[in-house]
Amino acid sequence: MGLRIHFVVDPQGWFCMGLIIFVWLFNTIFIPKIILFPHYEEGHISAVTILCYYIFALFCIVSLVRASVADPGRLPESPKIPNTERDFWELCNKCNMMRPKRSHHCSRCGHCVRRMDHHCPWINNCVGEDNHWLFLQLCFYTELLSSYTLLLDFCHCYYFEPLKKVNWDLFVFRHELALTRISTFMGLIMLVGISGLFYTQLIGIFNKEDAPKQRKGWSAIPKKRRRIHWVGVNCPLFELLLSVKGQLALSGMEPGHDKYRKTGKLL
């Protein structure tokens, strides 16, 4: 059965997704013109290097489109609940609809999603039961493409021999250094951000926890300190530290808590 189409009308999501497409277009257009084709013509690289880059770029944009339009697991308006499964369903207090447990209501989309992980503005869609694997696939291909782009930028500046046969009057070669630096900057942001997000996703899968369940341990932490954001992606190291601190606060074993003073235990 094919994937069901799910389109979210959200200008903020369109803007975020447009930024991702801009980064993809920038590197897909300028990296071959500045690095791949000139170095191939002078015999510094093989055709396999160019082919691999376009394959990674194609996989990345296809994964982005699939993750953004795939149905994350939206519940129908009048779901048919088998009698044997009624104990595993609950009423949503926001949309007044019955939903399976571990489903969550997305305020951005306006409906409940089965096993919802989070709403991602960068794909303008929720990440749920039916498209979670597509989101992980997108993270993997984005990491692959970003790493490959950074490797090409590094080799172009410090490893490959200088180009001798190019026309330096062309725009791309007159501003070669600036374009390469922009590509490197965007590649670093994408790689660090996606790596952090991919790491938290894998930790949640291995621990069999979704994002809303992971956030419950942070409810004792003030909102200003609860989550650390960097370019829209949670930093995994701070997420881990704050999660441990939240668990200590809930159990009363955080330094300064009354229960901590009575027991005198150090964790």
State the catalytic residues: 120
- Cβ pair 81, 98 in contact under 8 A: yes
Find the distance separating the first CA and the last CA of the chain, reported in whole Å. Answer: 51
Angle in degrees, CA 61, 62, 68, rounded to 5: 90
The DSSP code for 66 is H
Q: Which amino acid appears at position 263 of this protein?
A: T
Q: How many residues does the chain have?
A: 267
CA 251 to chain centre: 32
Q: Which helix (H) or strand (E) holds 224?
A: helix 223-226
What is the spatial distance between Cα 75 and Cα 110, in angstroms, rounded to a whole number? Answer: 11
The DSSP code for 76 is P
What is the spatial distance between Cα 49 and Cα 68, in angstroms, rounded to a whole number? Answer: 29
Angle in degrees, CA 165, 155, 160, rounded to 5: 35
Q: Scan for tokens 């808590």, then name that residue.
A: 257
- Cβ pair 55, 68 in contact under 8 A: no
**Residue 27 tokens, joined:** 């590197």
Nearest to 234 by CA among 198, 188, 197, 189: 197
What is the spatial distance between Cα 45 and Cα 51, in angstroms, rounded to a whole number? Answer: 11
